[in-house]
Amino acid sequence: MMPVALAIYVPIFLGAVAAFLPGRFFKVGGVLAAVSAVSAIAGAVRGFPEYVCPSGLFAGGLFSLVLVFLAGLFSLLVALYSIEYLKEGYPVFYWSLFCWMTASASGVFLSAHMFPFLISWGISGVVLSLLIWQAGCVDIGKKTLIIVGGSDAFLVLGLMGLYVIGSGSFLFSGISSDLGGPFRWVIFLSLLVAAFAKAGAMPFHTWIPDTARDAPAPVAAILPACVDKLVGIYLLKLIVTDWFNVSAGGNTVLMATGSITIIAAVFMALSQHNLRRLLGYHAVSQVGYMVIGLGTGNALGIAGGLLHMINNSIYKQGLFLAGSVVEKKAGSAMLEKLGGLFKNFPVTFASFTIMAVAISGLPPLNGFVSKWIVYHGIVSSQPSGLWIIWFTAALFGSVLTLASFVKITHAAFLGQPSSGTVTAREKLGWEIPALVLLPLMCILIGVFPQYTVYPILEIAVPGFAAPALWQPSIAAGLMTAGVALVLLIYLMTGVKNMRKSGPYIGGEKLTPQMRVSGVQFYTTIENIGIFKKMYGWAERKFFDIYEVLKGFIFYLIKILRWAHSGVLSVYLIWMLAGSVVVFYILLLK
């Protein structure tokens, strides 16, 4: 079968079948969703190393097929996880939406024509909102639909503009334009709005933290943390590498947006007490690195941004799934109510820790590789000196990300347990594939990028050459040797026979009243000068574009209601005022 049939048509059909399943066959729907994901993987493999559909509606080079493969793999892991996580009685339509999500993402990656691209893009947005809505999160689902769905209007506007300034064809091939003139800037910015809303860049990000906190963990792990990132940043890649010759001004807009997204979102993450909402803000912050990388305008930065898109999807999905294991087994996602879970959750702790190190950008894992390339791209981007601003934002964001995950690791796993912490032991089933495979991918890409991702980037980004400044294999070998040496010394010196005692402070044993949770240290940040004001503004939704626009629309409606009161004298006054304006315009002519 052709790649398009396997990646798109088969999942659509299986989703239709799942829609008619009775509720008692819930797990059968899970099997259909897993099969649809495997079909997408098979379609991508079938198309390697390069595929072009004769009809011209779909075309997939190596990079598009890699994204189809990853979307299928991530969907498979979450489908298996959902079988364990969701209970019998959950709507079977969930599996239909799941299959159609896989199909729509594949359609976006493989489209070579505006119409299938728009259809696939629109379906992915509707599926996202319905998956949130179906879980009972009506307000968040509505908010997501308005932000993501509303941005689709800008996508239509932008694509129609490309049609006008292009060759008059709906095919993507041959589209190439500069940013000369206001009309082209309107097209460019319209397309950016669509990409930013789907990926979650500021200021169109506010649906992500809410979804991460309240939607079912599998939904949060597969969409705002993973597949939607791939779809949104893929569109951004098309904009800046295929459709436009982006000027220095356009690159500055992108890099400024990316820098603000990194810093603002990571500061919001530091103040969160809910584990999943904290991860949601980091899902926003990491988008900033992708936007900065693609905004550099050079091959090194673009390759780094695309690689970070892939890396982020890997560890961010894993962090959400590992965090949901903690939430489900320990009974809470509030960090103050957790603690001391290391012994009872060894697999979850190991998996979470590896991916926390990866997202923090520490060697030798995959997050460091992509950030290192982005850093080099930033330094090479703008000779005017602005690069130092973007570089500082990216580097500072990594430091604060590390601080956030030190907070989570201490509060949930290593700190003293709270009095209400449930001490259940982890009993893993279908969660194991995700908790093992995703951190393993972080290690393999981080240690062996020259065999895993560099060859793909060299094809996807013309002019990219793997940087020689960082030798991950050598660094990983030295780190491993250092750890092995410490263990050897530990075993040879007999330190293991040390006396064990409970924790104490100043000679006094710890009591529940003396417990310091992992979140208390970071509360001081919320009381520092400008940060206190910013956090206050954030709590009042000043930075939430949905709430701001909703408030403006309601205020406008209030004015219209006052103007249209139903009182005849008011209407006569409006008619008189309108007549005066018309006569005045006529007199000017």
* Backbone angles phi and psi of 301, in degrees to 5: -65, -40
Q: Are strands 508-509 and 504-505 parallel, antiparallel or unpaired?
A: antiparallel
∠ CA 213-219-225, nearest 5°, is: 75
Q: What is the dihedral of CA 421, 425, 427, 428, to 10 degrees?
A: 70
The whole-angstrom separation of Cα 345 and Cα 426 is 5
* 68 confidence band (pLDDT: 50, 70, 90): very high
> Is 70 exceeded by the pLDDT of residue 521?
no
338: nearest Cα among 249, 269, 272, 273:
273
Q: Residue 350's pLDDT is what?
A: 92
* Backbone angles phi and psi of 509, in degrees to 5: -70, 145
Structure confidence by residue, pLDDT tens digits, 399-446: 999 988 988 888 888 877 766 565 667 778 888 899 999 999 999 999
Q: Residue 47's pLDDT is what?
A: 84
Rounded to two decimals, the pTM is 0.90
> Is 90 exceeded by the pLDDT of residue 268?
no
Burial class (CB in 10 A: 0-12, 13-18, 19+), 451: exposed
Mean per-residue pLDDT, 526-550: 73
* 26 confidence band (pLDDT: 50, 70, 90): confident
Q: Residue 288's pLDDT is what?
A: 94
How would you write 457-516 as a 3-class SS string?
HHHHCCCCCCCCCCCHHHHHHHHHHHHHHHHHHHHHHCHHHCCCCCCEECCEECCHHHCC
Q: Residue 113's pLDDT is what?
A: 87
3-state secondary structure of 58: strand
H/E segment holding residue 372: helix 366-379
Largest separation between any pair of C-alpha atoms in the chain:
101
How would you write 109-130 as a 3-class SS string?
HHECEHHHHHHHHHHHHHHHHH
Q: Residue 522's pLDDT is what?
A: 65
Structure confidence by residue, pLDDT tens digits, 296-354: 988 999 999 999 999 999 999 999 999 888 888 777 888 888 877 888 888 999 999 99
Range name among 108-122, 472-486, 501-515, 545-559 with the lowest pLDDT average: 501-515
Q: How many CB atoms lie within 10 A of CB 50?
A: 12
Token code pair at residue 62: 């190596």
Mean per-residue pLDDT, 551-558: 78
Provide the β-strand partners of residue 347.
Answer: none
* 42 confidence band (pLDDT: 50, 70, 90): very high
Q: Concatenated DSSP letters for 401-449? A: HHHHHHHHHIIIIISPPPTT---PPP--STTHHHHHHHHHHHHHHHH-H
> Is 60 exceeded by the pLDDT of residue 382?
yes
Burial class (CB in 10 A: 0-12, 13-18, 19+), 264: buried
What spatial distance separates the first Cα and last Cα of the chain, rounded to whole Å?
A: 69
CA separation, residue 59 to residues 8, 110, 179, 195, 441 (Å): 13, 5, 26, 20, 27
> Is 70 exceeded by the pLDDT of residue 114?
yes
Domain boundaries, the chain: 1-112, 246-463+515-543, 545-588
Q: Residue 507's pLDDT is what?
A: 65
* 386 confidence band (pLDDT: 50, 70, 90): confident
The whole-angstrom separation of Cα 489 and Cα 508 is 32
**Amino acid residing at 57:** L
Q: What does the DSSP 8-state code read for residue 171? A: B
The whole-angstrom separation of Cα 389 and Cα 152 is 32
> Is 90 exceeded by the pLDDT of residue 510?
no
Q: Residue 326's pLDDT is what?
A: 86
Structure confidence by residue, pLDDT tens digits, 158-171: 999 888 887 677 88
32: nearest Cα among 18, 49, 51:
18
> Is 60 exceeded by the pLDDT of residue 585?
yes
Q: Residue 407's pLDDT is what?
A: 86
H/E segment holding residue 60: strand 59-60
Q: Are strands 244-245 and 504-505 parallel, antiparallel or unpaired?
A: unpaired
Q: What percent of the chain stands above pLDDT 90?
A: 32
* 255 confidence band (pLDDT: 50, 70, 90): very high
3-state secondary structure of 385: coil
Query: Across the chain, what does the average pLDDT equal?
Result: 84
Instruction: Mention every residue, 6+ apart, whose C-beta is less than 8 A from residue 414.
Output: 339, 340, 342
Structure confidence by residue, pLDDT tens digits, 360-375: 988 889 999 999 999 9
Structure confidence by residue, pLDDT tens digits, 135-157: 778 888 888 888 888 888 999 99
Q: How many CB atoms lie within 10 A of CB 532?
A: 12
